[in-house]
Amino acid sequence: MANRWKNTLTERDVTPEAAFLNRRQLMAGVAGLGLMGAAGRAQAEGEDLEPNSWEDITSYNNYYEFGTDKGDPKRYADALTIDPWSVRIDGMVDRPGDYAFEDIMAQMTVEERIYRLRCVEAWSMVVPWNGFELADMLALAGVQSGAKFVAFETVLREDEMRGVSRPVLDWPYIEGLRLDEAMHPLTIMATGIYGRDIPNQNGAPLRLVVPWKYGFKSIKSVVRITLTDTQPPTSWNKAAPREYGFYSNVNPNVDHPRWSQATERRIGGGLFSARIETKMFNGYEEEVASLYKGMDLTKNF
Ligand SMILES: Nc1nc2c(c(=O)[nH]1)N[C@H]1C(S)=C(S)[C@@H](COP(=O)(O)O)O[C@H]1N2
Ligand SMILES: [Mo]
Ligand with an atom nearest the CA of residue 70: 1
Nearest atom (ligand 1) to Cα of 125: 21
Backbone phi, psi, residue 22, to 5°: -60, -45
Q: Is 26 helix (H, G, I), strand (E, B) or coil?
A: helix
CA dist list (Å): 65 to 7, 68, 202, 301? 25, 8, 12, 25
**Distance, CA 43 to ligand 1 centroid (Å)?**
23
| Cα–Cα distance, 33 to 91 (Å, whole number) | 42
pLDDT above 90: percentage of residues in the chain: 82
Query: What is the sign of the dihedral through the CA atoms of 36, 41, 43 and 46?
Result: positive
| Cα–Cα distance, 211 to 42 (Å, whole number) | 11
3-state DSSP helix/strand/coil percent for the chain, to nearest 5?
30, 25, 45
Predicted structure pTM score: 0.89
**Distance, CA 118 to ligand 2 centroid (Å)?**
7
pLDDT in the model for residue 269: 79
Residue among 213, 220, 243 to mutate when testing ligand 1 (max atoms within 8 A of CB): 220
Residue 2 has pLDDT above 50, yes or no: no
Confidence of residue 23 (pLDDT cuts 50, 70, 90): low
93-102, 147-156, 226-235, 263-272: which has the minimum mean pLDDT?
263-272
Cα 100–194–284 angle (5° rounding)? 90
Nearest atom (ligand 1) to Cα of 154: 1
When the pLDDT of each residue in the chain is averaged and rounded to a whole number, the result is: 89
pLDDT in the model for residue 193: 98
Omega before residue 128 within 30° of 0, cis: no
pLDDT in the model for residue 273: 77
Residue closest via CA to ligand 1's atom 7 equals 63
pLDDT in the model for residue 19: 53
- Class of residue 270 by CB neighbours under 10 A (exposed 0-12, middle 13-18, buried 19+): exposed
pLDDT in the model for residue 274: 80
Q: What is the pLDDT of residues 79-94, one digit of tens each?
A: 999 999 999 999 999 9
- Cβ-based neighbours of 121, under 8 Å, separated by 6 or more: none
33-42, 89-98, 207-216: which has the minimum mean pLDDT?
33-42
Residue 39 has pLDDT above 80, yes or no: no
Class of domain 11-292: alpha beta
**Distance, CA 61 to ligand 2 centroid (Å)?**
8
Confidence of residue 270 (pLDDT cuts 50, 70, 90): confident
- Cβ-based neighbours of 141, under 8 Å, separated by 6 or more: 89, 93, 94, 95, 96, 97, 99, 225, 227
11-15, 88-92, 252-256: which has the minimum mean pLDDT?
11-15
| Cα–Cα distance, 183 to 177 (Å, whole number) | 9
pLDDT in the model for residue 272: 75
Closest by CA position to 172, among listed 190, 182, 158: 158
Ligand with an atom nearest the CA of residue 73: 1
Ligand 1 is surrounded, with C-beta below 6 A, by: 61-65, 117, 119, 154, 173, 202-203, 215-216, 218-220
Which tops the pLDDT comparison, 40 or 142? 142
Residue 65 has pLDDT above 90, yes or no: yes
pLDDT in the model for residue 37: 52
- Cβ-based neighbours of 173, under 8 Å, separated by 6 or more: 64, 65, 153, 154, 156, 219, 220, 235
Residue closest via CA to ligand 1's atom 20 equals 202
Which tops the pLDDT comparison, 204 or 18? 204
pLDDT in the model for residue 46: 52
Residue 14 has pLDDT above 60, yes or no: no
DSSP line for 255-267:
-BTTB--SEEEET
Residue closest via CA to ligand 1's atom 1 equals 220
Residue among 53, 216, 282 to mutate when testing ligand 1 (max atoms within 8 A of CB): 216
Which tops the pLDDT comparison, 190 or 3? 190
Confidence of residue 25 (pLDDT cuts 50, 70, 90): very low
Ligand with an atom nearest the CA of residue 217: 1
Element (H, E) at 138: helix 134-141
| Cα–Cα distance, 138 to 227 (Å, whole number) | 9
Ligand with an atom nearest the CA of residue 163: 1
- Every domain of the chain and the residues it spans: 11-292
